[in-house]
Chains A and B, each alone.
Chain A
Amino acid sequence: DTAVSQTPKYLVTQMGNDKSIKCEQNLGHDTMYWYKQDSKKFLKIMFSYNNKELIINETVPNRFSPKSPDKAHLNLHINSLELGDSAVYFCASSSRGSAYEQYFGPGTRLTVT
């Protein structure tokens, strides 16, 4: 059973396009996150949602918009893609009851050409 799943695993697209990455967790967690890991492997949080409510919204371009249709899903939509958006994007989930230990998805490698 996959705990945190993301689709697609790889995404290659051209500048200016709009794309979405989907994330689902089956752990019953109440908090979900999106992270960006750049080429230097630095992992930076972008968004955090608790029970469908936005908790963390770090300084990211407003071309990035998270959408949480329910507690088990947190999708990431990106408009007008730029070369600098190329990175690996990780979804994660956690529960307040377990001190926010996070379970990460396998990542989506986005390449913008």
Chain B
Amino acid sequence: SQKIEQNSEALNIQEGKTATLTCNYTNYSPAYLQWYRQDPGRGPVFLLLIRENEKEKRKERLKVTFDTTLKQSLFHITASQPADSATYLCALVYSSASKIIFGSGTRLSIRP
């Protein structure tokens, strides 16, 4: 069965550094790979998505890469700020949203 793994449960980095989160999956590549942010007590908020045929997407301080050979996506936050502290989730979306799988999340803490 399809599996998805986010590299670490928690990541602590210094303000101003680049945070890099990893999402690995098995078997088939999804049509879309999405990244969400979730704050305590709230629903996930969509950040970025990347399509199967794309290598990299950027949005302000965020960058996502997608390597279908390695079956891996990397999510980068540059010039990190304490306000970036949250749990980040990756999600695999298969064609026509016939299957959607979320990773268990990485809790990111940015210390001043």
What is A's interface to B at a CB cutoff of 8 Å? 4, 31, 33, 35, 40-45, 48, 50, 55-56, 90, 92, 94, 96, 99-107
Contact = CB atoms under 8 A, between A and B. Distances in A.
Contacts of A90: 43-44
Interface of B: 31-32, 34, 36, 41-46, 49, 51, 87, 89, 91, 93, 96-102, 104-105
B45 A56 contact: no
A contact face: mostly helix, strand, loop, or mixed? strand
Contacts, number: 63
Given A99-B49, A103-B46, A41 B87 contact: yes
Contacts of B36: 102
Contact of B100 (A4, A42, A48): A48
A104 B43 contact: yes
12 contacts: A40-B104, A42-B102, A45-B102, A94-B97, A99-B32, A99-B93, A100-B32, A100-B34, A101-B46, A102-B34, A102-B44, A106-B42
Contacts of B91: 102
Contact of B34 (A33, A43, A50, A101): A101
Contact of A100 (B44, B89, B93, B104): B93
Contacts of B96: 55, 96
Contacts of B51: 99
A45 B43 contact: no
Contacts of A100: 32, 34, 93, 97, 100
Contacts of A45: 100-102
